[in-house]
Chain A
């Protein structure tokens, strides 16, 4: 191909330059678009994170406050113990008609005629039905209170609690909301008297499962979680570290160790629910361990966490340079001594980081626990790991299925607590890594 000359050539060159310029423009536009897509992707990811946290936190933080109503309860002996038999009959104080006391106190405080059944019923709906238990506990603690009048702080019913926190839309007609105008009027009256207050909700941290949102708490689930995490830590850390040491430092390269290695990588990716099926079939079906027990939960989570710890430990051991091993062997240590006295201590920070991350994953795991029956309704603290228990994520799952509005608040609050723990654990892992990071 011959090059054009003269005017022709100038024209062609101009055309080429033009094409290059427009082509360059197009290419630079494409470049900019590509960058924008990249930024957009990161922005969307972060937006989802913020939206998730905001939605949970916004719904949940109100649950840390709880409305209570203080009523002057007259522990009338006529109601609790009309025939004065409380010394001979132990069940008497347990089964007395405590709601009647609340009713009397309410009638007196709000000035309602006791004979007005409809109005009385409406007023009673303002107080949580758990007031029966609260009053019973007061009396059981000190039977001397019978016959006296005492101010008792009672939980407000969930709807009153919501209304007091401003979560109920008051603009809708009275018939289609859960709090009546009369109740609102009483509420304001009580508030003006200083009887209706909101305070920090300690019950949320100490109570167990309850069908009433105002008296439901995460205390019992938390204890179950602690038991499980304890079992996971005690079993998975030594087992995981031991097997990682074997595979990394001692194992001969043969079929068996190859199989073990592939196996561990695969186990790390097996769906968690399959571990639940394993626990159900082996621990409960075959070994006959009790259902719903935190022991079984702990064992299942241990099997799940092991691969994570093994993989992290192997990475940490691999990061220790061979010169350390050679030096130890050179001064006459056995292979075992070199590993346990020199390599392992140097790898410890990495091992701990991996362990914490594994535990954090186990802490949030729900699916396998559903299968081994930890969805039971548990209202009492488990005394041993063999007692029926539940765990924090499972409690969240159960509350998420409740229809009542007030449970959404509780669920979100429980999630906040769970996330706080996860963040603390991950932070510890990051700090550990920073603090002990060593460049060879």
Chain B
């Protein structure tokens, strides 16, 4: 790590030095005044700095990725015959032990290291005292391998230092010599900047590819253990967590109950959010005075800025108990029996609270779309003697309908992907039922459930989360793409 920091500092220093030297040289050339500089001094300076730093940084990056792999291969080759005959997972376990012993040895003082090398039995205690627990006292070859690994990585990092610094210095010298009046430094610098901008904007693509690839590979691993038919059409969700290390405990991973819960809760949420949000948007854009709009609109949008964990907590401690107690009172009035028929965690609780969260999405999206309807339509309708509400119902809304449908699809995709409210308010039981007063669970809840905890990604119990995530991703992606398409197409009609 030390070497790494020193190299970075030195290369940065070279870059800065190159920058100022080139600037001074360019200024001097300009002052001579015999020929005009093609580029400004700052471009020459930036050119030299870039050429000094970038190739060196690339070499270093490649080296740092490649050398641990090469060293690892070298170390594995030296494992005794008995280890090399073991299965791959066992071998990598041994290799991890070597890595952590090597790390531990580097933390020790030279005397302690010599002492440990002489007496292998002490190794475990000494390392444990330095915060590196080992499961068992490692065999002697592990210590040898670890020492060899340390030696190799030390050699590698010195070699890297020499090569990176050499690359940096050579390119500095070459670039400095290029500082001449005729040199088009600006064009070169701008090409580099443009390349940087392009790389930055491809991060979005890399992220998407990352999402798809990472989830796809884990999902395929899941499907190699559980049949896709059982997953997509199964009606029972019972993952049955295995005890640690115990393999082959098959659970049932039926997607249907989770999907049903997700859709049911989203429907309840939309039933709350759509009328309120839509009426609010209509009133705000067609009737409200500018003063009311200036106050009510930002206040409603505060709802959109509140983190969903807060809504979840609100559902858990306020709305859920309220509904439960209300139902008990109601039951008492009707039958004289204080039994609540609404559970505190239920489809209704989660749906209502999620609906509150979605109100501002519906209202601000539809507000935009209603405002985009041209005024001539309204004027025409009013001129024919229609009242304002008739104009809105018969002219404005039909004209805005496709856009509003798009907005509602976007809102629905949000409802389907929402996590924190349902984690706290919907329950964890994967029921397949129709009663909105009972708890149900959703895809997102199960993703969280399967993955919180310190688990390895090799059992279907954890891998199923990726299959669920991919399903969720695909569903919301389709909704989003379709919604964006509808909204955009509709907008163009009036432009």
User: Chain A residues in contact with chain B, CB under 8 A?
Assistant: 27-28, 30-31, 33-35, 37-42, 44-46, 48-49, 51-52, 55-56, 59, 238-239, 242-247, 250-251, 259-260, 262-267, 269-278, 280-282, 285-286, 291, 303, 306-307, 310, 334-336, 360-361, 363-367, 370-371, 373, 375, 393, 396-397, 400, 408, 411-412, 415, 418-419, 422, 426, 430
Given contacts A277-B469, A430-B298, 18 further A-B contacts (CB under 8 A): A35-B389, A37-B283, A38-B280, A41-B278, A242-B196, A264-B204, A269-B413, A270-B417, A281-B217, A291-B454, A361-B305, A364-B307, A366-B309, A367-B420, A370-B448, A371-B451, A375-B452, A415-B310
Whether A243 and B197, one on each chain, are in contact in the complex, defined by CB atoms closer than 8 angstroms, is yes
A399–B196 alpha-carbon span in the complex (Å): 44
A243–B201 alpha-carbon span in the complex (Å): 4
Of the stretches B87-95, B122-130, B471-479, the one at the interface is B471-479
Whether B309 and A242, one on each chain, are in contact in the complex, defined by CB atoms closer than 8 angstroms, is no
Whether A55 and B207, one on each chain, are in contact in the complex, defined by CB atoms closer than 8 angstroms, is no
Q: Is B200 an interface residue (CB 8 A)?
A: yes
Q: Indicate which residue in B194, B303, B472, B473 contacts A49 across the interface (CB closer than 8 Å).
A: B303
A291–B454 alpha-carbon span in the complex (Å): 9
Whether B284 and A42, one on each chain, are in contact in the complex, defined by CB atoms closer than 8 angstroms, is yes
**Given contact pairs A397-B420, A408-B317, A243 touches B476 in the complex (Cβ within 8 A):** no
Residues of A within 8 A of B300 (CB): 42, 45-46, 49
A411–B360 alpha-carbon span in the complex (Å): 25
Whether A285 and B309, one on each chain, are in contact in the complex, defined by CB atoms closer than 8 angstroms, is no
A244–B311 alpha-carbon span in the complex (Å): 33
A306–B208 alpha-carbon span in the complex (Å): 12
Whether A239 and B448, one on each chain, are in contact in the complex, defined by CB atoms closer than 8 angstroms, is no
Whether A41 and B276, one on each chain, are in contact in the complex, defined by CB atoms closer than 8 angstroms, is yes
Residues of B within 8 A of A276 (CB): 447
Q: Indicate which residue in B207, B283, B306, B389 contacts A306 across the interface (CB closer than 8 Å).
A: B207
Residues of A within 8 A of B218 (CB): 281
Nearest A-chain residue to B304, judged by Cβ = A361
**Chain A interface, >50% SS class:** helix
Whether A38 and B282, one on each chain, are in contact in the complex, defined by CB atoms closer than 8 angstroms, is yes
A265–B481 alpha-carbon span in the complex (Å): 9
Distance from A342 Cβ to chain B, minimum over Cβ atoms (Å): 15
Residues of A within 8 A of B393 (CB): 34
Whether B279 and A41, one on each chain, are in contact in the complex, defined by CB atoms closer than 8 angstroms, is yes
**Chain B interface, >50% SS class:** helix
Distance from A126 Cβ to chain B, minimum over Cβ atoms (Å): 26
Residues of A within 8 A of B303 (CB): 45, 48-49, 52
Whether B205 and A259, one on each chain, are in contact in the complex, defined by CB atoms closer than 8 angstroms, is yes
Whether B317 and A59, one on each chain, are in contact in the complex, defined by CB atoms closer than 8 angstroms, is yes
**Given contact pairs A45-B359, A264-B204, A286-B214, A40 touches B279 in the complex (Cβ within 8 A):** yes
Distance from A29 Cβ to chain B, minimum over Cβ atoms (Å): 10
A41–B272 alpha-carbon span in the complex (Å): 11
Distance from A366 Cβ to chain B, minimum over Cβ atoms (Å): 4
Residues of A within 8 A of B388 (CB): 31, 34
A267–B278 alpha-carbon span in the complex (Å): 26
A307–B480 alpha-carbon span in the complex (Å): 15
Whether B275 and A41, one on each chain, are in contact in the complex, defined by CB atoms closer than 8 angstroms, is yes
Distance from A276 Cβ to chain B, minimum over Cβ atoms (Å): 8
Distance from B1 Cβ to chain A, minimum over Cβ atoms (Å): 12
Q: Is B210 an interface residue (CB 8 A)?
A: yes
Residues of A within 8 A of B410 (CB): 269
Residues of B within 8 A of A46 (CB): 296, 299-300
Whether B204 and A271, one on each chain, are in contact in the complex, defined by CB atoms closer than 8 angstroms, is no
Q: Is B401 an interface residue (CB 8 A)?
A: no
Residues of B within 8 A of A239 (CB): 200, 203
A396–B360 alpha-carbon span in the complex (Å): 24
Whether A422 and B204, one on each chain, are in contact in the complex, defined by CB atoms closer than 8 angstroms, is no
Residues of B within 8 A of A259 (CB): 205
A364–B312 alpha-carbon span in the complex (Å): 12
Distance from B449 Cβ to chain A, minimum over Cβ atoms (Å): 10
Distance from A221 Cβ to chain B, minimum over Cβ atoms (Å): 12
Distance from A236 Cβ to chain B, minimum over Cβ atoms (Å): 10
Whether A365 and B307, one on each chain, are in contact in the complex, defined by CB atoms closer than 8 angstroms, is yes
Whether B210 and A278, one on each chain, are in contact in the complex, defined by CB atoms closer than 8 angstroms, is yes
Residues of A within 8 A of B202 (CB): 243, 260
Whether B204 and A277, one on each chain, are in contact in the complex, defined by CB atoms closer than 8 angstroms, is no
Residues of A within 8 A of B211 (CB): 270, 274-275, 277-278
Residues of A within 8 A of B418 (CB): 271
A426–B305 alpha-carbon span in the complex (Å): 9
Q: Is B53 an interface residue (CB 8 A)?
A: no
Whether A28 and B387, one on each chain, are in contact in the complex, defined by CB atoms closer than 8 angstroms, is yes
12 A-B residue pairings within 8 Å (CB atoms): A31-B387, A35-B283, A42-B283, A244-B201, A269-B414, A285-B214, A336-B190, A361-B305, A364-B309, A367-B308, A371-B451, A419-B310
Residues of B within 8 A of A306 (CB): 203-204, 207
Nearest B-chain residue to A292, judged by Cβ = B454
Whether B306 and A364, one on each chain, are in contact in the complex, defined by CB atoms closer than 8 angstroms, is yes
Distance from B324 Cβ to chain A, minimum over Cβ atoms (Å): 16
Nearest A-chain residue to B196, judged by Cβ = A242
Residues of B within 8 A of A422 (CB): 305-307
Q: Is B238 an interface residue (CB 8 A)?
A: no
Whether B452 and A371, one on each chain, are in contact in the complex, defined by CB atoms closer than 8 angstroms, is yes
Nearest A-chain residue to B195, judged by Cβ = A246
Distance from A298 Cβ to chain B, minimum over Cβ atoms (Å): 15
Nearest A-chain residue to B456, judged by Cβ = A285
Residues of A within 8 A of B299 (CB): 46, 49
Nearest A-chain residue to B448, judged by Cβ = A370
Whether B420 and A56, one on each chain, are in contact in the complex, defined by CB atoms closer than 8 angstroms, is no
Q: Is B424 an interface residue (CB 8 A)?
A: yes
Distance from B314 Cβ to chain A, minimum over Cβ atoms (Å): 5
A262–B488 alpha-carbon span in the complex (Å): 12
Q: Mark B176-204, 1 if CB is under 8 A from A, else 0.
A: 00000000001000100110111011111
Residues of A within 8 A of B264 (CB): none
Residues of A within 8 A of B282 (CB): 38
Residues of A within 8 A of B305 (CB): 360-361, 364, 422, 426
Whether B283 and A39, one on each chain, are in contact in the complex, defined by CB atoms closer than 8 angstroms, is yes
Distance from A262 Cβ to chain B, minimum over Cβ atoms (Å): 8
Q: Is B256 an interface residue (CB 8 A)?
A: no
Whether A260 and B201, one on each chain, are in contact in the complex, defined by CB atoms closer than 8 angstroms, is yes
Whether B276 and A246, one on each chain, are in contact in the complex, defined by CB atoms closer than 8 angstroms, is no
Nearest A-chain residue to B389, judged by Cβ = A34
Q: Is B142 an interface residue (CB 8 A)?
A: no
Chain B, range 37-63, C-beta contacts under 8 Å to A: none
Q: Mark B349-384, 1 if CB is under 8 A from A, else 0.
A: 000000010011001000000000000000000000
A40–B282 alpha-carbon span in the complex (Å): 12
Q: Indicate which residue in B204, B287, B424 contacts A243 across the interface (CB closer than 8 Å).
A: B204
Nearest A-chain residue to B466, judged by Cβ = A277
Residues of B within 8 A of A415 (CB): 310, 313
Distance from B419 Cβ to chain A, minimum over Cβ atoms (Å): 4
**Given contact pairs A273-B444, A286-B214, A400-B313, A266 touches B452 in the complex (Cβ within 8 A):** no
Residues of B within 8 A of A41 (CB): 275-280, 283
Whether B444 and A271, one on each chain, are in contact in the complex, defined by CB atoms closer than 8 angstroms, is yes
Q: Is B426 an interface residue (CB 8 A)?
A: no
Residues of A within 8 A of B481 (CB): 262, 266
Q: Indicate which residue in A39, A51, A366 contacts B307 across the interface (CB closer than 8 Å).
A: A366
Distance from A337 Cβ to chain B, minimum over Cβ atoms (Å): 8
Distance from A58 Cβ to chain B, minimum over Cβ atoms (Å): 10
**Given contact pairs A273-B419, A281-B466, A397-B309, A34 touches B484 in the complex (Cβ within 8 A):** no
Whether A272 and B296, one on each chain, are in contact in the complex, defined by CB atoms closer than 8 angstroms, is no
Q: Indicate which residue in B276, B298, B311, B420 contacts A44 across the interface (CB closer than 8 Å).
A: B276
